Chain A
Amino acid sequence: MTKKYTKEHEWIEQHGAHWRIGITEYAQEQLGDVVMVDLPAIGRNVSAGEECMAIESVKAASDIYSPIAGAIVAINETLLDNPALVNEDPENSGWLFDLEANATDNLETLMDAASYQSFVEELQ
């Protein structure tokens, strides 16, 4: 399963038995310097499209939506001390949280890398 992308600029990718979620390079560029990452509680159940955490830049908070329904099984604790990792490496080591999926139907509606690329180009 390859990486999929949302219109809200999150990415989702299979990670072992779970799904890993983060924000895209374009999103971190738009947010600017990340100063605090407010990660979700482990064990929390979220529905697809639910606002479940926030990323704080100097000036504003940006909500992050879960691309699919499931339970939060892990968070990237490195970000608690080093929130700037979201800027430096958003699509790898700057990941946000892992989900155990309830349903993956929603993945069908998300963009692949090529579609996301054109989506972003249209925004610029």
Chain B
Amino acid sequence: MTTRFNLTMQLSMAIVLALLFQVSPLQARIDGITGTNFTLSVKTGRVFTPDGGSILLWGYADGAGPAQYPGPTLIVNEGDTITITLNNALTVAGANPAPNVSILFPGQRAEASTTDPGVPGILTSEAVPGGSVTYTFIADHPGTYLYYSGTDPALQVEMGLMGAIIVRPSSGAGFAYNHPDTAFDREYLFLLSEMDPRIHEAIEFDGPQSTAVGPYLANPFPVVWFINGRNAPDTLDIPNLPVLPNQPYNSAPMMHPGERVLLRVIGGGRDLHPFHHHGNHSRIIARDGRLLASSPGAGPDLSHEVFTIKSVPGETVDAIFEWTGKGLGWDIYGTPADGPQFVHTCVDGNGDDFDDTTHEYCPDHDKPIPVVLPDNLDLAFGGFYSGSPFLGTLGSLPPGEGGLNPHGGFAYMWHSHTEKELTNFDIFPGGLMTMLIIVPQGASIP
């Protein structure tokens, strides 16, 4: 028994979705702070992991706000002169003072200002405890970037001092770069990282004087892995969740068939992570904020397609992901043989083989699904299963099954393919993982 998506159901399901995810209108865009002048403060906080863990955080805060993991995503415009004042409000245990802190801006020509120069460090200018430093740079290249501490970075980045920068091109917010081939309908950030809680515990109990930290840093063994500062399944929860006060960002991508989705993938920790996005290939168009172009203006002509993005520490990757279900050999919207509620048309007015509205692949229209699915008694079900193989359809499921997919979408796991990283300190599933939900045209995406 299947039930075709109808308006009443859509409405009620939208309410269910709103209750489940308490969707905010900001989700389709990348959460962050905009402007040209930023004030960040380094403070302590807590990273909560779904296994019940609570890990000491050193995080960048947006001014008077709480420490964040990752730090605030700075969203700026190409050509702007960006000024960032960093206050060192860090407190530590033990007899030794809090360390200096700083920010590196790979890919930018950042300099400390003459009016608030801080103190010289090895890699950059630093803010002493209770003091500050101000950096400026001109955001002269659009793209995706990382920022992180340049003071004892092996320790301070592990402790949480890193974040993302997005420079929007002069072409407008719907483009990744100044070329039409970089246009997108939606964008999502995937800032990947990991933590070794032993290091955080040593710092929490003994502060910078701890003699345990050095050996751990020399041979780190992370046991929790993050997307945008959260472990699955917290990745899928709403942004700005009160019970995760220092982890404001989520990772819950959604899209419609036929849309172009920009993935901004950043290696924010020290390890490599093979980021496998189920559903389809993506096309890698840029690395480290530079379009893969053979010459200026050529567009991403050196781009290529992958099903796993090799995320490298300190590197950023921009990739375009699309999905229509083209060529599956069966009608993903069902056929009249599946029931009268599945009668639908495929109208290809512009001759691109796709329905002009739903993006259904018309050559597969009305082709039945070629196999019979087993009876429910023979199956185990996932929480994101709609109960039906057809897009936009809800089928009957045993009590307690499904329920996380009220639009009858297709769900795809996006995750580290170092599958060990799908755990939260010995507990599977979790870690560096989220789900993409593809919902039919007409279903709203927050």
Whether A associates with B in a native complex is: no
CB within 8 Å of B: which residues of A?
none
CB within 8 Å of A: which residues of B?
none
